[in-house]
Structure 1
Amino acid sequence: MTVPSLLGVVAASVMGIFCFRLSSSKDELQESRDALLSNNAELEERVKELEAEVERTKQKAENAYRDERAKTTAQMAKAASEIKGFQDRATKLQNDNEHLKSKHSKEVQYLRDELGTANHKQVELRKLVDMQASELSTAREFTFMVDNVAAADITRIVQELNAANFQAAMQFLSILPLEADDGSDVDHQFIDQLRDRATHAVGRRLIEIAAQSKETDESFLILAFQSVLAYICHSAITSWMYGSHNEAGLLNATYERIRDSEQQAVAGRWRALTNKQITSLAGRRTNDAIRRDIIWGLVGILIAVGWEVNPQSARAAVVAELDDAVEEIMGVISRISKAIREDFISEDLQVVCAAGGATYDPSTMEVEEGGMPKKGPKDKYVPKVLATSELGLASRTRNGGMQMILKSKVHLH
């Protein structure tokens, strides 16, 4: 066989093999193509499902975001409203505070000054109390001290004070009527204060009766003058420091403790030494306060019963016409205070004054002539004190009781 023939045979064999393999590859490719198309269809279906799931998830997220945003917006709006309310209230409180600070700054300063003064007085009083308490340790030698004045002498001085009060009341009545108030330069608040003080001192019922009868029956007006003078005298005599309630309360409480724990002579000695010291320190100030209250007390009665008077003009009239009478009253007050607190050691004597409206007690009170209401024997009523016209005198006992030496004279209603 020739070479060309051999080559032809080889070529034919190769072509046969190629054609066989090509046919086999086409079948495999077709199968692969079909499988691939099937996979693509499945993948496309899966992609669609995933896209739908993503869309649903996205929609849920958007809805949740919108809901959360709306909720947050509402909460922020509510919080903003509350903050605005807080700011408004804070602004109002700040404005009110500034207004109050501006309004009361002077009052606060005044109170601070008064507090400083009161604290200083408390310190001085405590020093005085400590000094007297120290002296008590050596006070046994005074156990048998003799009184420098008798109780009967003090009784006569109290009766002298009652007479001086009556004379002052009659003298004040004699200068009435005073110049009427023309309404100019009048402090109406001060007038109200004078009226209230006078009413408190003598009682509203007496003021009403005196106001109704001042043009026809002067006896009730005189009684009102006597009653206010008795009230002021009683306060001046019974107070350790007239017009200084805190200090007087401290001294009174201290004396009560000493009186309950020591013999009467020792307690009386402490009382005498303390009163002497107080008189030397505050005597002038106390006298000025008593004089002022007597004058304004009489003027206050006039105003309370309805007299149209200028307070300052009325005060000037009292000073001009009753100065000697007022000085006499103050002198007797001073003598009684000294006698009761310093000179009479063996007992505790006390000037007594029945308050208006109190129930009548015949064991401590005496109805003054003309002081009994006009009621028949069949009338049933509880006698009440209308006013005290004259002060009484009593001896205090340790158990809080009183033994009358001189009954106070009263009018009933």
Structure 2
Amino acid sequence: MSQWQVGGSLLSSYACAGIAGLSLVSLVGLGLWRRLFKALRETNRKKDEELSALRRALNDIRSELQEKDEALAVLKEKAAAMTHRLEEERRKLDNVQRQNHLLTEKLGDQDQALGAQQEELAHLGERHAQTLQLLEARTLELKGAEAYLTKADVLSGADVVSLLNTLNSEVYQTAAMVAEAFEFRVKNGQERTRTEEEAAAMEEVYISTGEIVGPRLLGLLRTAEHHQDPTIVQVAFQAGMAAYANWIVTSWDFEDPDDERGLSKIYGTIRQQEEQAVSGRWRALTRTHIPRMAEQELAMYFIDAFVNILLAAEVTQHPSELHEAIESRFAKRISIIVKGAERLRRAIGEEVTSCDFEIAYVSHESPFDPAQMDDTFASGFDTGRDEPEPVLCTTELGLARVVKVPGKVGQWEETVLLRPKIALKSGIDEMMAAE
């Protein structure tokens, strides 16, 4: 309600009150009227105060409404701004969604392309693995073929001759040292009395010694006097070491005679039919992969031979002490000879393929041929003889170089690089007679 309506209501109230007052004056008098008027003024005052309070409240309400209108306007502006931003964000979102859709399609295309590439990569991987397998197979084939290709020799003929000369020198020096290291019984043409057990043991010694040095040199060991001149004992040592060195250098298999014969036969056939480069490589490969006997085992053959030779020569030392004495005093020199023989074996068997180096060893009882061998003692063997004197033993090994004639079956060119040295009984007899 407006302020004019409020004022009208108050005037009406006053008018009514006046009319009523007139009635009251006529009834109760002027005093009552004064009190009533006073009450009316009090009532009007209160009404005015209430009206003022209402007006203030109305003003407050109007101020509050104005503030709220202003706040509402601000909120509307903010709402409009937010609506604008929302529209912008929606447009951006639409753009992002469109881009996302495009990227999704592109990603799908890339996934398909990646799947195709992975399949192609797997196929290439299989082809690569097959290529590696083929390459490995071809590499192995080439390695196998390379083994038979012509290769330069590791050693020359002069190198091999030097190795053999060194071995022969070690054999000679060791034989002299061992022969001078022991004392021998004076025989005076008499056999030593032995028990049956000793006689049986000595019979085995004679058999073993005869197999190594030959029966005639064994006879000299048993009958000759060695206490003043051990030359025959030294020659026997040389013969034994030369025999074992020849065995080490030339053997294919030390332990199995059947394998030894089989390999020798196979190599002989290959040498006959194939060219030198092929047969040489086959020999080198085969020798490389054949198991070898330990050095200590090979050294025992030399020690046993020394013991048997000394026993056959009637050494004064007890048989039970000989083995230990030789092993303790001459093991190092025997080891040098064994290593020298093994080095020579490796040189001519594995490190040279352009030719074959053959060890020249003359077996006992072979006829002496001055064109093929040298006499250690340079005896007058041909004086008054109708036939060549048989060889007593080999004291130093010789060497020949053999090359297959290209394109020919079973034809070789042979060159003697070092002639073997042998001992003749006549030479030993002359030497001892001269002494």
Q: Which of the five TM-score ranges fits, normalised by the shorter chain?
A: 0.5 to 0.7
**How far does the alpha carbon of each residue in 1:325-375 deviate from its partner, in whole angstroms, 9 at most, with x for none?**
01100110111000001101111111121112110112220112x241578
Separation in structure 2 between the aligned mates of residue 175 and residue 184 of structure 1, nearest angstrom: 27
Separation in structure 2 between the aligned mates of residue 154 and residue 319 of structure 1, nearest angstrom: 29
What is the match of residue 405 of structure 1?
417
- What secondary structure does 2:183 align onto? coil
The yes-or-no answer on 1:350 pairing with 2:362 is no
Contact 2:147 2:281 in 1 (8 A): no
Contact 2:392 2:422 in 1 (8 A): yes
- The alpha carbon displacement at 1:233 in A equals 0.7
What is the match of residue 293 of structure 1?
301
Contact 1:194 1:296 in 2 (8 A): no
1:186 to 1:177, Cα distance in 2 relative to 1, 3 A: farther
1:326 to 1:178, Cα distance in 2 relative to 1, 3 A: farther
Within 5 A, what are the aligned runs for 1:247-258? 247-258=259-270
Q: Which amino acid aligns with 1:367?
A: D
Aligned pair count reads 274
- What secondary structure does 2:367 align onto? coil
What is the match of residue 215 of structure 2?
204
- What secondary structure does 2:227 align onto? coil
Q: Please, which runs of 5 or more residues in structure 2 have no aligned partner?
A: 1-139, 187-191, 405-409, 426-435
1:320 to 1:263, Cα distance in 2 relative to 1, 3 A: same
- What secondary structure does 2:292 align onto? helix
Contact 1:140 1:266 in 2 (8 A): no
Separation in structure 1 between the aligned mates of residue 142 and residue 164 of structure 2, nearest angstrom: 31
- What secondary structure does 1:282 align onto? coil
- The alpha carbon displacement at 1:254 in A equals 1.9
What is the match of residue 292 of structure 2?
282
Query: What is the percentage of aligned positions where both structures have the same residue?
Result: 24
Contact 2:375 2:421 in 1 (8 A): yes
Match 1:166 to one of 155, 167, 172 = 172
Of the two, which has the highest radius of gyration?
A: 2
- What secondary structure does 2:253 align onto? coil
Separation in structure 2 between the aligned mates of residue 150 and residue 367 of structure 1, nearest angstrom: 27
CA root-mean-square deviation: 3.1
Contact 1:371 1:410 in 2 (8 A): no
More relative contact order in 1 or in 2 (CA 8 Å, sep 6+)? 1
Separation in structure 2 between the aligned mates of residue 397 and residue 223 of structure 1, nearest angstrom: 33
Match 1:243 to one of 235, 238, 255 = 255
1:320 to 1:139, Cα distance in 2 relative to 1, 3 A: same
What is the match of residue 203 of structure 2?
192
Q: Which amino acid aligns with 1:235?
A: W
What is the match of residue 326 of structure 2?
318
Within 5 A, what are the aligned runs for 1:19-98? none
Match 1:146 to one of 142, 152, 163 = 152
- The alpha carbon displacement at 1:394 in A equals 1.3
TM norm structure 2: 0.57
TM norm structure 1: 0.60
The yes-or-no answer on 1:305 pairing with 2:317 is no
